[in-house]
Each structure stands twice: as structure tokens, then as C-alpha cells.
Chains A and B, each alone.
Chain A
Amino acid sequence: MEKDEGMRVSALVRAVLRRRSTLLRVASVASRHARVLVASAGLLLMCLALTLMSPYFLTVPNVLNVLRQASIIAILSVGMTYAILTGGIDLSVGSVLAFSSVVSAVLMKSNFPLVPSLAAALCTGALCGAVSGALIIGRMRMPPFISTLATMSIARGLTMVITGGMPIYGLPSTFAYIGAGYVLGIPVPVVIMAVVYLLACFDLALTRSGVYHYAVGGNEEAARLAGIDTRAVKLRAYVISGITAAISGLVLASRITSVEPLSGLGYELDAIASAVIGGVSLSGGEGSVLGTLIGALIMGVLRNGLNLLDVSTYWQQVVIGVVIAVTVSLAAPPKK
């Protein structure tokens, strides 16, 4: 994927502009980030096509709407990216989304102040992530698929137990600001999404603990031999995943000023799809949160565009599935 595509691109540029060292440097950088560039190009093409096909697409309210809708999955996908980068996966993100928002809703309904209730949600998410992580790194050495399958079920079950299967309505209006409010004309969920992505980008690209995720996912044995505490790195990834799931849950709950026991059901698949479209490799060690963001936006724009074109939601499912298959196979590495 990156090697072939990137090698072809930079070989072409080298041949045409032999002495332009600046352009060579650009080509070298481009080949390294081929996947994200291809995905971005795809997103731009899609936006262009939709602008031509529907007069409503490129309007300010619609663009803000798309971003706001996409933010929930996008925030969730950040944590998923962390888990996948370390060579694992987190199937529990949808359930943790529901569980943590239910915990905070229960507190808010019992007249707990807003900020501690939000903090409680984040702690719940972190705790769920820690449990998933502990199962993976502990003596049982559970495969991440199994471990997060278990926490997915437990978290969903506990959500049902606490709510008795019924939604919790009437959350305070101060809370509703998160979902409905604006900051300088930008919806708060979009701002939260931007902040989460900026932090994640910084962490993964520029900090030692961030880079270790790639090392552990790329070659765990080499990382271990280099003296990296691979278990701590994995635990960190899953705790972060739990926290982003909680943030996502709060945004969702605030948008509908209620929590539903079945919220987030199936969201983990959208999160995985966002990461994969954005170039995160399921075997670990490769990809970026920027790519994941593009992937989440591609799915959000696709859904929005198909809505504007009056395509039924059933057919939308089909289209999204096809897009996943096509984008991944287009840029997949040739099997050796």
C-alpha cells in the first residue's frame, strides 16, 4: 500500500523534476502519508460531487450539521485508533459510551453538580478501559477481541440494570449546552471533536508515550527488547479508548437531553470503519488519527449527502459498505 503507491509517486516526480530538491522532499513526505492523502482526496471529490448534485450541501447550516453529526463517531474513533495502533481492538466503545453517560445522568438527576457528574462519566470510561486493558495484559493474556467483547457485554448489561431498560429524560439544561450550544458560531460538539483530535495528534506524533503505541503495535518483541514497558503502553491505549467513549457518550446524551440504554449500539463498527478508511492498519503500528478523522468525515458526508439526495437509509447502509470495501482494497498492500 504505502510502499507501492508511495514508491510509484515519488519515482515519477523524481524522473520529471530531477534537480528540484524541494519537490523531492515534498514527494518523500507525500509517499509516507500516501494513505491519508488518498483519503483526503476522496473526501474532497465526494464533497465536490455532492455540491454539484444538491444545492443544499455546501450551505453553512448543512456543513455544521454534518460536522456535528459526525463528531460522535469521530470522537469515539480516536480511542479505537489507539487500541488498533497497539495491535488490538476495542469492541466495547459503544457500550462504554452508554454506560458512562448513564452514570453521569443518574448523578445529574440526583442533583449532583454538573462538572463532577461529567468527571464521573470520564472516570467510568477510564475504568472500563482499564478493565479491558487489564484482561489483555494480565496473566490470562486475553486477545483484545475477546477481552473487549466481554467488557462490551458487561458494560451494556450494567447500563440496562441501572436504567431498568428505560431511558432517563429531563437532564439539566446546562448539560444541554454541550450538545446544542455554539462557541464562536461553531457547535460545541465540533469544538470538542477538534480539541480531542488535536490532543491525540500531538500525543501520538510528538510524545515518547505516543510513539510507543506504534512500536508495540508494529513489533511487540522489538519494543520489549528495546526496554519499552509494552504492558503499560497497551493499558494506556485502552484507558484512552474508554475516556473518548465517555466523551462521545456525553455529547450524544446532551444532544438528545436524555440517555437511552441502547445508545451507542453498533457504534464500534462505525469507529472501526473510520479508522480503516483513514489508513489505520488492523495489524497495528500504522496509521494516524488524522486519517481516522478523514475516515469519520467521509462516512458523515456520505450519510448526509445520501440523505440530501433522498436515498433511503437502507440503501445508505449498502453504499457505506461498498465504500469501505473499495477504499480499503484500493490502497491495500499487495499480498506477498
Chain B
Amino acid sequence: MDGQYLLELRHITKSFGGVRALQGVSVAVGFREVLAIVGDNGAGKSTLMKIASGALAPDDGETWLEGRPIVIRNPRHAAALGIQMVYQDLALVDCLDVVTNLYLGREHCWRFCGIDVLRRRDMEENTKRHLKQLGVDLPDVRTAVRNLSGGQRQVTAISRAVFWGTKLVIMDEPTAALGVRESGTVNQLIRSLPQQDLSVIVISHNLEHVFHIADRVVVLRQGKKVGERLIKETCPEEVVRMITGAEPPTEDAA
């Protein structure tokens, strides 16, 4: 287990037509770790995460999960492997309540004459317990997701991603649309996930948040990895320099 990573992407290359989105990028996330991926627009962050979550296939490179090489065929396969992506638009059904959203696609049912009858009370109890365990405070799990604030919706989406035997949660700009207080709630939740035996990869433009929640940061620039630091061994200024190219790439940038 020592020195082994949860997910390793090795020498990932991806092009779209003539555009080289990723060139030989290697990124790894360890167990119970929050990894932040930063970089300017067009650096390749979203592309890399789409590959990690199975939405895209790389042109070249390898994916290793818990020390074994694998090929992630599609997002459903990724989810089955324990990799869950929280999408930008949250992929929640607004008019349905929190319980239904959490269980969407995987409802607990009684089978009765060939009909699947929902075990509503069971699912409601489990949802409340799960949210309590995550430290998420929602007033009413039976309220429609649409009636929740932006931050509450984000934590609902994250709670859903975490619900199903997940090992790795990938998030794309989770606090982008949120105010200060709501970002705090979401960041606190992200920060607490390693205690639940989860790893997290967060794409973010917000370095202040990155320095609050991440253990390590990887900097991408124009499709290449130009730097990787432990958060406690660096500072925002250095990271900014790496993002803009003012800092020369270090040897560990593959």
C-alpha cells in the first residue's frame, strides 16, 4: 500500500483535431488525499478529468487504479470502479427531492408481483444518516432540490457522488457560482471527505480555496504539467508563477 496511488494517469496525450489538449501529462492522486489541479483556461484540466472519469478516451497513455492498469470505458464503468464525477451542472433533477436525487437510478425497492415498490421510509432514513455523517445540514430532505440554495445544491450533488461506495470524487469548479459563506460550507465538506476514506480531485481557479482544501496541487499549462507541489511547501505566489509561465518547469513535470 505504501507509495501506491489510488489513481494514476501516466503520459496522457489527447488531441482534438489539430489542437493538442494534453501532451504526456502524468498525474496521480493518493489515498485519502485532496489533489487540486490548477491552470489557466485551455491548460487541459477539464480534458484530463474527463479522461479520468471515463467520459473521454486518451489518444495515448495509461490509467492505473490501485496499482493495476485498467481501461475506463465510459462514465458508468468509472462509477462502478468507484470514480464519481460531480458535473458542473450538478446532474440533479431540480423538481425532485433530495432523497430521490440521492437514490436516482438505484432506488431501494420491494419486489411485489413484478412491480418495484419504493421503500420510501428506508431511503429517507438512510439519506438523513448519510448527510449527518458528512456533516451536511439540510432542513428537509423531502424539499425539492430547486428550493435549496446554491451551496446546498452543491453539497447534495457531492453527497450523491459520495453515496455509492465511491473511492474518488472528481469536481470541476465546485465553488465557482457560490458566495463566500456557501463556498465555506462546500469547502468544509470537501476537506472532510478524506476522513471518510475518499480521495478528491478538484479543478479550481480559486487559489484561496485551493490552499484551504488541498493537500497537493498540480499545475497544468498549455497541455503540459509544469509543476507539482505539496500545499504546505508552497505559496499562492509560486503557484501563480507556474500558471502564467513565469516559473520554469521543474524536473518532476513529466
A-side residues, CB < 8 A to B, are 2-3, 6-7, 28, 32, 206-209, 211, 214-215, 218-219, 221-223, 225-228, 281, 285-286
Question: CB-CB < 8 A to A219: which residues of B?
Answer: 91-94
Say whether, besides A3-B147, A208-B109, A214-B96, A225 and B116 are in contact (CB < 8 Å).
Answer: no
A7 to B140, CA, bound (A): 13
- Assuming the contacts A32-B142, A208-B118, asked whether A226 and B95 have C-beta atoms less than 8 A apart, the reply is no
Question: Is there contact, CB below 8 Å, between A285 and B143?
Answer: no
Whether A285 contacts B96 by the Cβ 8 Å rule is: yes
Question: Which residue of the partner chain, among B94, B100, B104, B142, contacts A28 with CB atoms under 8 Å?
Answer: B142
Residue contact A206 to B92, C-beta cutoff 8 Å = no
In the assembled complex, the Cα of A219 lies from the Cα of B120 at a distance in Å of 21
B118 and A218 form a contact (CB under 8 A): no
In contact, B105 and A211 (Cβ under 8 angstroms): no
Q: Which residues does chain A contribute within 8 Å of B75, judged by CB atoms?
A: 225
Q: From residue 166 to 192 of chain B, which have CB atoms closer than 8 A to chain A?
A: none
Picked from A6, A211, A225, A285, the residue with its CB within 8 Å of the CB of B107 is A211
Interface contact tally, CB-CB below 8 A: 73
Q: Known contacts being A32-B142, A225-B87, A226-B105, is A214 close to B93, with CB within 8 Å?
A: yes
Known: A28-B140, A28-B143, A225-B75. Is A211-B91 also a contact (CB below 8 A)?
Answer: no
* B76 A227 Cβ-Cβ under 8 A: yes
Q: Are A207 and B93 in contact, CB atoms less than 8 angstroms apart?
A: no
Q: Once the chains bind, are B91 and A221 in contact (CB under 8 Å)?
A: yes
Residues of A within 8 A of B96 (CB): 211, 214-215, 218, 285
Q: Secondary structure at chain A's binding surface: helix, strand, loop or mixed?
A: helix
The 7 closest A-B pairs by CB, nearest first: A226-B105, A208-B116, A218-B93, A227-B105, A226-B104, A222-B91, A285-B95
User: Hey, which bits of chain B sit against chain A, CB under 8 A?
Assistant: 75-76, 87, 91-96, 100, 104-107, 109, 115-118, 120, 140, 142-144, 146-147
CA of A44 to CA of B100 in the docked complex: distance in angstroms?
Answer: 32
A56 CB to closest chain B CB (Å) equals: 42
CB distance from B151 to the nearest CB of A (A): 17
Residue of A nearest to B108 (CB): A208
B95 adjacent to A223 (CB under 8 Å): no
Q: Known: A3-B146, A226-B105, A228-B104. Contact between A206 and B93, CB under 8 A?
A: no
CB distance from A223 to the nearest CB of B (A): 7
Q: How far is the CA of A225 from the CA of B120 in the complex (A)?
A: 22
Choose from B76, B94, B116 the contact partner of A218 (Cβ within 8 Å).
Answer: B94
Report yes or no: B95 in contact with A207, Cβ–Cβ below 8 A. Answer: no
Q: Which single member of B87, B93, B107 contacts A223 (CB below 8 Å)?
A: B93
Q: Is the CB of A286 within 8 A of B95?
A: yes
Q: How far apart are A41's CB and chain B's nearest CB, in angstroms?
A: 21
Chain A residues with CB under 8 A of B109: 207-208
Expressed in whole angstroms, the minimum distance between the Cβ of A233 and any Cβ of chain B is: 12
Given contact pairs A207-B116, A215-B104, A223-B104, A32 touches B91 in the complex (Cβ within 8 A): no
A32 CA to B115 CA, complexed, in Å: 26
Tell me how far the C-beta of A266 lies from the nearest C-beta in chain B, rounded to whole angstroms. Answer: 30
Q: Is the CB of B100 within 8 A of A211?
A: yes
B-side contacts of A228, CB under 8 Å: 104-105
Q: List, in ascending order, chain A residues with CB within 8 A of B91's CB.
A: 219, 221-222, 225-226
- B147-A7 in contact (CB<8A): yes
A281 and B116 CA atoms in complex are apart in Å by 26
Given A28-B142, A214-B93, A285-B96: A208 and B107 within 8 A (CB)?
A: yes
A150 vs B31: C-alpha distance when bound (angstroms) = 57
A222 CA to B96 CA, complexed, in Å: 12
**For the complex, what is the distance from the CA of A2 to the CA of B144, rounded to whole Å?**
10
A-B contacts, 11 of them at CB < 8 A, read: A206-B117, A207-B117, A207-B118, A211-B118, A214-B95, A218-B93, A218-B95, A223-B93, A223-B104, A225-B91, A227-B105
Bound CA span A225–B96, Å: 16
Residues on B with C-beta less than 8 A from A32 are 142-144
B93 touches A285 (CB 8 A): yes
Residue of B nearest to A227 (CB): B105
How far does the alpha carbon of A223 sit from the alpha carbon of B105 in the complex, in Å? 8
| Chain A: minimal CB distance from B32 (Å) | 27
Rounded to whole Å, the gap between the CB of B146 and the closest CB of chain A is: 7
Q: How far apart are the CA atoms of A208 and B76 in the complex, in Å?
A: 20
Residues of A within 8 A of B118 (CB): 206-208, 211
Residues of B within 8 A of A215 (CB): 93, 96, 100, 104
How near does chain B come to A200, taking the closest CB pair, in angstroms?
A: 13
Collect the chain A residues with CB atoms within 8 Å of residue B95's CB.
214, 218, 281, 285-286
Q: A218-B95, A226-B105, A285-B96 are in contact. Are A206 and B120 (CB under 8 A)?
A: yes
CB-based nearest B residue for A216: B93
